[in-house]
Amino acid sequence: MQPFTKLTAAAAPIDLPNIDTDRIIPARFLRKPKEAPGYASFLFHDVRFNADGSEKPEFVLNQAPYRGAKILVTAENFGCGSSREMAVWVLDAYGVRSVIAPSLGDIFHQNCFKNGLLPVILPGEVVAGLRRQLHQRPGAAITVDLESQTVTAHDGALHRFEIDPFRKEILLSGRDEIALTLDFDARVRDFEARHAREMPWVAP
């Protein structure tokens, strides 16, 4: 997995709450392999492109200063709905490395960690303020620093975020989580023996 340490990049605001993963990548693209050429074009496809393939100029990522943004600053519950991990793959393919939000869909949130994208949760007012700045100064950069757990806004304000030490460590190092868990194999074996004694009916 690609590690995440520190990123300074242009950010794009997504103002609507409850953006679901169907909107991030419509169902008809789910069978495409993520290595497919043009995979990034599936991102937000139906709100980003017209039926004839031309761009919808009102969509934020189609506006010059936000095009190619590596950070998204969203409203509440971004990534809700379907568990499709392709929603994270397609963001990654587009180049997005971090999503800053007041809250995220639970499975989407987990899926970010598994693919080296950093999900940052900050209070609603702070995130709304960041989005306002991005509207006032289109194309402004934001810095996300995982080591110090801070977001530096365009106006220089520093916002500290919380992140689980466990997830932080894995993101910083880019470690393979399965390999890490396999180190616990003896513990899993002990557990399985005890579990079979205490709840013998569980195994089918």
Partner 1 sequence: MATPLTMFEKIWSRHVVAEGPGGHVLLYIDRHLLHEGSTSAFGRLAKAGRRVRRPDLTFATADHYILTSPGVVTLVCGDSHTATHGAFGALAFGIGSTEVEHVMATQTLWQKKPKVMRITVEGRLAVGVTAKDVILAIIAKIGAGGGVGHAIEYAGSTIRAMSVDERLTVCNMSIEAGARAGMVAPDETTFAHLEGKPFAPKGDAWRRALADWKAVPSDSGAAFDREVELSASEIAPTVTWGTSPQDALPITGRVPDPAAVADGARRESMARALAYMGLTPGTPLSEIAVNRVFIGSCTNSRLDDLRAAARVVKGRRAVVPAWIVPGSGLVKRAAEAEGLDRVFVEAGFEWREAGCSMCVGMNGETAGEGERVASTSNRNFEGRQGKGARTHLVSPAMAAAAAVTGRLTDVRTLVG
Euclidean distance between CA atoms 40 and 59, whole angstroms: 15
Q: Is the CB of 95 or the CB of 184 nearer to partner 1?
A: 184
Asked whether position 16 contacts partner 1 by CB under 8 A, the answer is yes
Which residues touch 61 (CB under 8 Å, ≥6 apart)? 12, 43, 44, 48, 67, 69, 94
Q: 111 is written with which tokens?
A: 């899926």
Judged by CB under 8 A, the residue of 20, 32, 139, 140 near partner 1 is 20
Euclidean distance between CA atoms 102 and 62, whole angstroms: 24
Q: Is the CB of 75 or the CB of 99 nearer to partner 1?
A: 75
Asked whether position 187 contacts partner 1 by CB under 8 A, the answer is yes
Euclidean distance between CA atoms 86 and 33, whole angstroms: 9
Q: 52 is written with which tokens?
A: 């004839």
Judged by CB under 8 A, the residue of 41, 63, 115, 143 near partner 1 is 115
- Distance of CA 152 to CAs 4, 7, 11, 131, 197, Å? 16, 10, 12, 13, 53
Q: How far is the CB of 129 from partner 1 (least distance, A)?
A: 13
Judged by CB under 8 A, the residue of 77, 92, 118, 127 near partner 1 is 77
Choices 58-66, 75-83, 134-142, 147-155; region in contact with partner 1 by CB under 8 A: 75-83
Choices 5-13, 22-30, 54-62, 66-74; region in contact with partner 1 by CB under 8 A: 22-30
Q: Is the CB of 8 or the CB of 36 nearer to partner 1?
A: 36
Residues in 25-44 that interact with partner 1 by CB under 8 A: 26-28, 30
Cβ neighbours of 99 (radius 10 Å): 24
Q: 78 with 14: CB under 8 angstroms?
A: yes
Asked whether position 80 contacts partner 1 by CB under 8 A, the answer is yes
DSSP SS3 for 82? coil
Q: Which helix (H) or strand (E) holds 109?
A: helix 106-114
Residue 159: alpha-carbon gap to chain centroid: 18
Residues forming contacts to partner 1 in the complex (CB under 8 A) are 15-18, 20, 22-23, 26-28, 30, 46-47, 75-77, 80-85, 88, 103-107, 110-111, 114-115, 164-167, 169, 177-178, 181-182, 184, 187-188, 191-192, 195, 198-204
